[in-house]
């Protein structure tokens, strides 16, 4: 319906960028993460069964966590405010909290 998931090279580049942030424990604030996930959950390009964006081919939960990633259709952009998750024990982005806003 919305076409294929993008080709492998783009997916690998996005995955590498998000992985670097995760390995460095560089994540966005939980409030920003929830805002990004809510935008993705309402998007027509989300393949809900596996939480993959049909526009860029990324796993949205992983991509939304990374401060250096952007939405391919402009629903959210890079974030200047990050949290070092090794310092902030209360910053967990593993939940599927979705706001009803």
* pLDDT for res 101: 47
Q: Structural domain boundaries of the chain?
A: 8-68
* pLDDT for res 43: 95
Question: What is the residue-level pLDDT of the chain in tens, covering all 101 positions?
Answer: 455 555 555 667 777 777 787 787 878 889 999 999 999 999 999 999 989 898 888 889 888 988 888 898 999 988 766 665 545 444 455 545 554 44
Contact 68/21 with Cβ under 8 angstroms?
Answer: yes
Residue among 22, 65, 13, 23 at smallest CA distance from 40: 65
DSSP code at position 28 = E
* pLDDT for res 18: 76
Q: How far apart are CA 13 and CA 11, in angstroms?
A: 5
Map residue 86 onto helix, strand or coil: coil
CB neighbour list of residue 22: distance below 8 Å, 6 or more residues apart: 62, 65, 66
* pLDDT for res 80: 65
* pLDDT for res 62: 85
């Amino acid at each position: 319906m919305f076409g294929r998931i993008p080709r492998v090279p783009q997916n690998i580049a996005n995955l590498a960028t998000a992985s670097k942030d995760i390995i460095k424990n560089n994540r966005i604030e939980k409030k920003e993460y929830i805002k990004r996930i809510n935008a993705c959950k309402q998007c027509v390009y989300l393949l809900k069964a596996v939480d993959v964006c049909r526009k860029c081919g990324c796993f949205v939960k992983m991509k939304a966590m990374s401060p250096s990633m952007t939405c391919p259709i402009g629903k959210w952009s890079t974030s200047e405010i990050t949290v070092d998750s090794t310092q902030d024990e209360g910053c967990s982005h593993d939940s599927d909290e979705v706001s009803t806003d």
